[in-house]
Amino acid sequence: MVPAVVLKGKDGMHSTRKPEGSPSSLRVDPVSRRDFLSRTTMAGAVGAAATKALAHGDGDVPPKPAATTPLESLAAPGRAGLLFPQQNTLRNVLDISGIWDFQLDPQEEGEDKRWFQALPAPRPIPVPCSWNDLFDDARDYLGLAWYRRETYVPPSWRGQRIFLRVGSANYAAKVWVNGDLVAEHLGGHLPFVADITKRVSFTKGNVIAISVENKQLPGRVPPGAGPGGGGVAGLMAGFPLTTYDFFPYAGLHRPVLLYSVPAHPSIDDVTVKTTIEGRDGVVMVRVTTADTYAGKGRVRLGGTETMLTFQAGTAEKAVRVPSARFWSPQDPHLYPLTVTLTQGSHAVDSYSLDVGIRTVAISGDQLLLNGQPVQLRGFGKHEDFPLSGRGQNLPVWIRDYELLRWVGANSYRTSHYPYAEEAMQLADRLGFLVINEIPAVGLDFRESDEVTAQRQTQALQELRELIARDKNHPSTIMWNVANEPLGGLPLGLGPRDARAEAAGMTFFRELYAEAHRLDDTRPVTLVGVQGGVKEWHGIFDVVCINRYYGWYTQPGQLELGRQALARELDELHQTFGKPIIVAEFGGDTIPGTHNTAVEMWTEEYQVEFLRGFLEIAAQRPFMAGMHVWAFADFKTGQGTGRAEGMNFKGVFTRDRRPKMAAHFLRSRWAQ
């Protein structure tokens, strides 16, 4: 039997305090090494606490809090499920995206003046879309803005519970329906839902108004550039000023939906976990209802149907699939699953999703998919395109998956925020392995305790929402809780800051523990900056690092860069004994710029840079993956380090044409 998750090789803190990647961080003595086993078996998963807390000696590794049952732990605690709305014979969806009215509110007068009823001087805007590329006066605008539209709610929905769901409002949103405030939400990139059953009219148009603002404030995640600066891009002091290296696009970035579900009883959430037993797959299904339903139901998986018995709104079932096809990039087979609530012979609610039967595990320094070592080949990406900005753009997603396949990639990271739900569904269907990341980029632990505490609250919320949203996707193989947090200057440029490092340690232990409390089926990682705090990696299951030897350091000196990389990978392996992924490596490359001498910014340099890193990694069997930075060129703020307000590290241009590097990667990967 292959356990669902075997996480091994937990190392604690290390006594030698050297920044990772700094030239003299060559010898780091592991002072404590722990192994633990978090094992979910089919039999153990339903009913028994299957998480074994790891031995916890000197306090340097967080305890894994005992989950109640693993399936319970994956369900969102104390909040409505975030099931993707679907149309079937019992449920309804009305997409109210399209052209909305829009108005900037720099004076923040809209709420007092009741703009949630009517906007005084609206102009049209598409939803979903960022506002920044559409109107010159809104290009760098990050303050408050209003969206409004009217919509009829189908009278056939009468008697059902009606919800409004915003796919992503970046960053802070408030929602009004017919003049009533129905929801507030902080954090872009993740959906939120309001029950508007009692607010809607079936006899006239309903006014939906949403205010959105994207101020760069220190307590947010990602944080705004605070007094202490912060973030890699902060060093370059771009405009608009951010703590991160991508344009702070704002607006309603994903569809706005109305949907209805049966009034009572109705399915609130479905959680699926899969394990492998010999050649069989076992799918554990947990269904929760919106109330304390105590009736019957059924679950159909492929051709098998079994009964569900609900108690206090919950039912669980393990369904065996003999001689199953296991989900993998080579064979992304999905089994259709439908859960139904029944009263007598009637179906009263039902919900369907596609299930990929697969396991992810860590054994020593290996990352295992379905019990076999797997190496990730791919990229860090962005949701970014001219005009639509960070707004959902399905043609771009389809093209990107086509190009990922063309180049021979099997994986990508959702840098630096959760991507569209449709993108996750496509990854399931097309067989891509996704490192799924919360928007915790630009964290700097040199800030005050108060600011750090605000960020922690927000980061935990984002982690809970992300796991609630994406827990059932086989493509998500790992959660990432932060990109390049700082506990001092990056690249080993300054002295170490013990206070900041300790603050980060506390912060990440909590995020790690929460991720595993909610999901014990996937590894959890942190993506570290070059020259960052090495000890933080000791908390996590996989060591992910971003490295720019030969670009930001050793510029123009590829051989020196390769040597530095090789040295550091060996050290990290010796220190932690865990799988290692280089989650970013690359150099800016102006498309069409060439030279016979391999020189920075040319296409030749990008090819040689990537070749060097890939060769070093290929010689090391403990390397679990190489993600090139980046898949495509993308928009940033303006600054001296970013020609044309662009990051040119893409191997495809922003309009998805291949640079030489794309052909090079294809020659290595697509065999």
Q: Which residues participate in catalysis according to the annotation?
A: 484, 584
CA-to-CA dists, residue 201 to 153, 176, 196, angstroms: 7, 14, 10
SS3 513: helix
CA-to-CA dists, residue 100 to 184, 282, 408, angstroms: 19, 46, 40
Q: Does 535 bind ligand GCB (CB under 6 A)?
A: no
| Identity of the residue, 612 or 637, whose beta carbon is nearer to ligand GCB in the bound complex | 637
CA-to-CA dists, residue 91 to 198, 226, 239, 263, 265, angstroms: 18, 46, 46, 10, 12
| Identity of the residue, 233 or 315, whose beta carbon is nearer to ligand GCB in the bound complex | 233
Considering only residues 31 to 70 of the shown chain, the ones binding ligand GCB according to CB under 6 A are none
CA torsion, ordered 555, 559, 564, 568, to nearest 10 deg: 130
**How far apart are alpha carbons 233 and 257 in whole angstroms?**
35
| Identity of the residue, 326 or 629, whose beta carbon is nearer to ligand GCB in the bound complex | 629
Query: Which two three-digit tokens encode residue 83?
Result: 């099931």
Report the DSSP pairing between strands 206-213 and 144-151.
Answer: antiparallel
Least distance to ligand GCB, CB of residue 483, Å: 5
| Identity of the residue, 5 or 527, whose beta carbon is nearer to ligand GCB in the bound complex | 527
Interface pick for ligand GCB out of 400, 484, 571, 603 (rule CB under 6 A): 484
Please, which residues bridge with residue 581 across strands? 544, 625
**How far apart are alpha carbons 169 and 433 in whole angstroms?**
26
Closest CA to 207 of 98, 100, 91: 100
Least distance to ligand GCB, CB of residue 440, Å: 12
Considering only residues 441 to 460 of the shown chain, the ones binding ligand GCB according to CB under 6 A are none
How many Cβ atoms are within 10 Å of 497's Cβ, its own excluded? 17
Least distance to ligand GCB, CB of residue 645, Å: 13
Q: What one-letter code names the amino acid at 580?
A: I
Query: Which two three-digit tokens encode residue 50?
Result: 């299957």
SS3 401: helix
How many residues touch ligand GCB under the rule CB under 6 A: the total is 11
The upper half-sphere exposure of residue 521, i.e. CA atoms within 13 Å in the direction of its Cβ, equals: 35
Least distance to ligand GCB, CB of residue 441, Å: 7
| Identity of the residue, 103 or 414, whose beta carbon is nearer to ligand GCB in the bound complex | 414
**How far apart are alpha carbons 423 and 548 in whole angstroms?**
28
| Identity of the residue, 232 or 276, whose beta carbon is nearer to ligand GCB in the bound complex | 232
Interface pick for ligand GCB out of 421, 584, 603, 604 (rule CB under 6 A): 584
Site pattern 368..407 for ligand GCB (x: CB under 6 A): ----------------------------------------
Please, which residues bridge with residue 341 across strands? 297, 349
**How far apart are alpha carbons 321 and 357 in whole angstroms?**
9
Considering only residues 63 to 122 of the shown chain, the ones binding ligand GCB according to CB under 6 A are none
Site pattern 256..295 for ligand GCB (x: CB under 6 A): ----------------------------------------
Q: Does 519 bind ligand GCB (CB under 6 A)?
A: no
Least distance to ligand GCB, CB of residue 143, Å: 24
- Nearest residue to ligand GCB, by Cβ distance, number only: 245
| Identity of the residue, 76 or 628, whose beta carbon is nearer to ligand GCB in the bound complex | 628
Closest CA to 161 of 262, 72, 55: 262
| Prior bond of 512 cis (ω within 30°) | no
| Identity of the residue, 273 or 627, whose beta carbon is nearer to ligand GCB in the bound complex | 627
Q: What is the DSSP letter of 464?
A: H
Least distance to ligand GCB, CB of residue 627, Å: 11
Least distance to ligand GCB, CB of residue 3, Å: 33
Residues present in the chain in total: 671
Least distance to ligand GCB, CB of residue 149, Å: 34
Q: Does 232 bind ligand GCB (CB under 6 A)?
A: yes
CA torsion, ordered 470, 471, 474, 475, to nearest 10 deg: 40
| Identity of the residue, 21 or 356, whose beta carbon is nearer to ligand GCB in the bound complex | 21
Q: Does 483 bind ligand GCB (CB under 6 A)?
A: yes
Site pattern 625..664 for ligand GCB (x: CB under 6 A): ----x-----------------x-x---------------
Closest CA to 469 of 521, 422, 524, 412: 422
Least distance to ligand GCB, CB of residue 246, Å: 6
Kindly calculate the radius of gyration of the chain based on its CA atoms and give it in whole angstroms. Answer: 25
Q: Does 245 bind ligand GCB (CB under 6 A)?
A: yes
Can you give the binding site for ligand GCB, defined by CB under 6 A?
A: 232, 244-245, 416, 483-484, 546, 584, 629, 647, 649
